[in-house]
């Protein structure tokens, strides 16, 4: 049984930048080498609600002059059950459980952003939030 409820979720910010045609042509071939980074932040709001911001960036970590940039900030508003008090349990809910719930919409929104920016065959799928969460403690 879930000890939280997702009240709302939405794209707060979405961005794609490709400077010019030469950059696009370069990135088209180079994009398989791009890396995905995920950053999750949370802040309490009124009425015991929590705003979770999941930021996904897909970028070139190399020193290439020609590069594109993709970023999506996805916000989820969550209400925890009153029974949830322990800090580690709250962290797991926010960083893992909620992320797994929003994952299909998150991945589709981000993949659509990249596809709509002109880059085909790029797929952001099957992010293992459980593994990411556990790796924080190692």
Domain positions in the chain? 4-135
* Tens digits of residue pLDDT in 29-64: 999 999 999 999 999 988 889 999 999 999 999 888
User: How far is Cα 89 from Cα 76, in angstroms, rounded to an integer?
Assistant: 18
User: How far is Cα 49 from Cα 45, in angstroms, rounded to an integer?
Assistant: 5
User: How far is Cα 63 from Cα 24, in angstroms, rounded to an integer?
Assistant: 16
Mean pLDDT of 133-138: 72
Q: Which CATH number fits domain 4-135: 3.30.565.60, 3.10.420.10, 1.20.1560.10, 3.30.420.10?
A: 3.10.420.10
User: How far is Cα 126 from Cα 60, in angstroms, rounded to an integer?
Assistant: 21
Express as a percent the part of the chain with pLDDT over 70. 99
């Amino acid at each position: 049984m879930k000890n939280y409820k997702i009240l709302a979720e939405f794209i707060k910010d979405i961005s794609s930048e490709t400077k010019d045609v030469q950059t696009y042509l370069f990135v088209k071939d180079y994009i398989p080498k791009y890396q995905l980074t995920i950053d999750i932040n949370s802040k309490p709001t009124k009425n015991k609600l929590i705003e979770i911001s999941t930021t996904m960036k897909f970028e070139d970590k190399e020193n290439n002059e020609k590069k594109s940039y993709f970023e999506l900030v996805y916000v989820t508003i969550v209400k925890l059950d009153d029974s949830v008090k322990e800090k580690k349990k709250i962290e797991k809910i926010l960083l893992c459980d909620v992320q797994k719930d929003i994952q299909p919409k998150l991945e589709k929104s981000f993949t659509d952003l990249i596809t709509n920016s002109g880059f085909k065959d790029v797929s952001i799928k099957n992010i293992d939030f459980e593994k990411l969460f556990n790796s924080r403690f190692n």
